[in-house]
Amino acid sequence: MSRKYFGTDGVRGKVGEAPITPDFVMRLGYAAGKVLVSQQPTGKGDHPAVVIGKDTRISGYMLESALQAGLSAAGVDILLLGPMPTPAVAYLTRALRAQAGIVISASHNPFEDNGIKFFSGAGTKLPDEIERAIEAALDEPLLTMSSAQLGKARRINDAAGRYIEFCKSTFPNELDLRGLRIVVDCAHGATYHIAPHVFHELGAEVLQVGVQPDGLNINQGCGSTHVSALQAAVAEHSADIGVAFDGDGDRLVMVDANGAVFDGDLLIYVIAKHRQQHGLLKGGVAGTLMTNLGMEHALGKLDIPFARANVGDRYVLELMQGRGWQLGGENSGHIICLDRHTTGDGIIAALQVLQALRMAKATLADYTREVAIYPQSLINVRIARGFDFKGDATVQAALAEAQGDLGNHGRVLLRASGTEPLIRVMVEGRDAEPVRGWAEHIAAAVRGAAQG
C-alpha cells in the first residue's frame, strides 16, 4: 500500500485545503493515537502520552487544537510544548518518556502552508510501515473513548530551558565562544527564543535577526532560505560569523565575516574533517543525490568514505543506520550528528562547526579551502500534482542530451518535491555557463510537457 497523505516529511499542504484542514487533522490525531498506542502499550490504567510542538505560523493554534481533540478522543494524554524547534520535540519526546512526538510545521515553506510530522518514542522519524498504518486507520470511524478514559492536556512550561541545556551539553565543557561575535537569524521561526540563548550562554556576543514572529512572517526574507539578510547583518555589525536556521530549526546555513555562504555540504565537510583529525569519525559520511561532486571529491582526498541516499533526511538517516555511520546530511543544511542527537538539528550542527573552528583556530574559509565546489544550477518548476516526468519523451530526451554533453564531469537530476507540487531540476558540472544553460533547457522541457 502506497502512502496517500505522507510525503518525505509527514503530511504537508496549504492551510484550509485538503489535507491541512481542522477536520482531517483531528482524524489524523485520532488515527495516530490509536496506532502509536498499539505499537507501544503502557501499564494497566496508564494513559499513553504524546508531545506536541509547533513553529510560529498562525495556523498552528488551530491545528494544535484539532490534534488535541483527536488524541484525547483516542485516550491519549497530550504534553504541549508551544513554539519549539522540530529537533527539540524529538529530544523532549525521549526526555519525557512519551510514546510519540508530533510537530506542527511546514519547515522552510511560507506561512500559508503547514504540516504534521511525527517522531517515535525514541526521537526518530516514524518508519514507513507505521505511517501506512496511520493512513489505514484514517478510514476507520472515530469512536470516542468513554469520558473516564479521555486524554488530558497539560503544558510543559520549562520546555525551552530544557532544550537549551541539552544543546549546550553537546559542546565540549573545556571550550567556549568568548570573543566571538555571531549573528543568529532565526527566520521568525521556532528557534527565536532558543538559539540566541544557546550561543550567548556559551560566551558569544549574539546579534539577533528574525526573532519577532507574528504568525505571518516565518521564513519571509530571512532565515536559511533567504541568506541575504544574514549577510547584510554580518557586514553591518562586523561580525565574525553568521548562523541562519529555517522556520522549524532543523536546517542550517552559515556565512563568514566576508559574507561568503557555506551550505550543508561545506558544513558537513568541516565536521567530518575535524572528526577525522581527532580520531572521532566513525565510518564515513552520508549525503544525497543533491550533494555536490566537489564535496564528494574532497572527502575522497581525505580517505573518508561517502555514499548517497535519496533526497530527504529520513533516507539519509536510514543509510547512516545501515552502515553504522554517525554523520550525514543534505546540502540544504539538514545535518545529522547521530552521536549528538537522533535527528537533524540546526543548532547542534552549528555548535559542531564552531567546535571545529575554535579547536583549529581557523575560519570557515581556511577549513574548507581544499573543497572545489562544482557550479550547480537548481530550477523549481511548478506542476500539476500527478504529472509524470519519467514517462514524458520530451523531458527524457532533454535529460539524455544534457548528460551526453556533460559526460563524466557533470550530473543531471530530476526529482519530484516531497513537500510541494514541484519538479526540481538540478544540473552540475565544472563550468557554470553550460550548467545553467542545460538546466534552463530541461526546465523548459518540463514546463512545456506539464502544461501540454
Find all residues with CB under 8 Å of 118, minimum gap 6, and list them.
Answer: 10, 32, 36, 100, 101, 102, 103, 125, 126, 131, 134
Based on C-alpha coordinates, what's the Rg of the chain?
22
* 46 assigned to some structural domain: yes
Q: Which three cell numbers stand for residue 24?
A: 482531517
Quick one: 282 and 185 in the same domain?
yes
70-125 pLDDT per residue, tens? 999 999 999 999 999 999 999 999 999 999 999 999 999 999 999 999 999 999 98
- At residue 45, the pLDDT reads 58
Work out the pLDDT band at 56, boundaries 50, 70, 90: very high
- At residue 421, the pLDDT reads 84
Quick one: 54 and 178 in the same domain?
no
125-175 pLDDT per residue, tens? 888 888 889 999 999 999 999 999 999 999 999 999 999 999 999 999 999
- For residue 419, is pLDDT > 70? no
Domain residue limits at 312? 163-367
Residue 102 in contact with residue 116, Cβ under 8 Å?
Answer: yes
* 305 assigned to some structural domain: yes
Quick one: 131 and 184 in the same domain?
no
- For residue 9, is pLDDT > 90? no
Quick one: 299 and 332 in the same domain?
yes
Work out the pLDDT band at 408, boundaries 50, 70, 90: confident
- For residue 386, is pLDDT > 90? no
Quick one: 204 and 268 in the same domain?
yes
* 5 assigned to some structural domain: no
Residue 114 sits in a domain of what CATH number? 3.40.120.10
Rounded-to-integer distance, Cα 402 and Cα 61, Å: 47
Residue that terminates a domain, selected from 367, 399, 418 = 367
The candidate with the shortest Cα–Cα distance to 100, out of 123, 85, 121, is: 121
The candidate with the shortest Cα–Cα distance to 12, out of 216, 222, 24, is: 24
Quick one: 138 and 241 in the same domain?
no
- At residue 377, the pLDDT reads 93
Quick one: 357 and 277 in the same domain?
yes
Quick one: 200 and 233 in the same domain?
yes
* 418 assigned to some structural domain: yes
Work out the pLDDT band at 1, boundaries 50, 70, 90: very low
Locate all alpha helices (DSSP H) within 5-85, ordered by sequence.
22-39, 59-73
- For residue 245, is pLDDT > 90? yes
- At residue 104, the pLDDT reads 98
* 6 assigned to some structural domain: no
Q: Rounded mean pLDDT of 266-273?
A: 98
- For residue 201, is pLDDT > 80? yes
Residue 446 sits in a domain of what CATH number? 3.30.310.50
* 1 assigned to some structural domain: no
- At residue 125, the pLDDT reads 86
Structurally, the chain folds into a number of domains equal to 3
| Active-site residue, from 107, 120, 224, 332 | 107
Residue 214: count other Cβ atoms within 10 Å of its Cβ.
11
CA distances to 288, 292, 332, 343 from 252, rounded to whole Å, are 16, 17, 8, 13
Mean residue pLDDT of the chain comes to 94
- At residue 44, the pLDDT reads 54
DSSP state of 408: G
Lowest mean pLDDT, pick from 15-24, 39-48, 187-196, 277-286: 39-48
CA distances to 32, 36, 56, 57, 80 from 28, rounded to whole Å, are 6, 12, 21, 19, 17
CA distances to 28, 244, 328, 380, 407 from 373, rounded to whole Å, are 43, 21, 18, 21, 18
Work out the pLDDT band at 206, boundaries 50, 70, 90: very high
* 3 assigned to some structural domain: no
Q: Is 146 exposed, middle or buried (0-12, 13-18, 19+ CB in 10 A)?
A: exposed
pTM of the model: 0.91
CA distances to 35, 50, 77, 343, 440 from 97, rounded to whole Å, are 17, 9, 12, 17, 50
Find all residues with CB under 8 Å of 79, minimum gap 6, and list them.
Answer: 49, 50, 51, 52, 92, 96, 98, 153, 154, 155, 156
**Is 224 among the catalytic positions?**
no
Quick one: 357 and 323 in the same domain?
yes
- At residue 2, the pLDDT reads 57
* 257 assigned to some structural domain: yes
Quick one: 282 and 333 in the same domain?
yes
Work out the pLDDT band at 282, boundaries 50, 70, 90: very high
Quick one: 289 and 409 in the same domain?
no
DSSP state of 418: S
Cα–Cα–Cα angle for 270, 274, 278, rounded to 5 degrees: 170
Quick one: 65 and 104 in the same domain?
yes
Q: Rounded mean pLDDT of 361-369?
A: 97
- Run of H or E residues at 300: helix 293-301
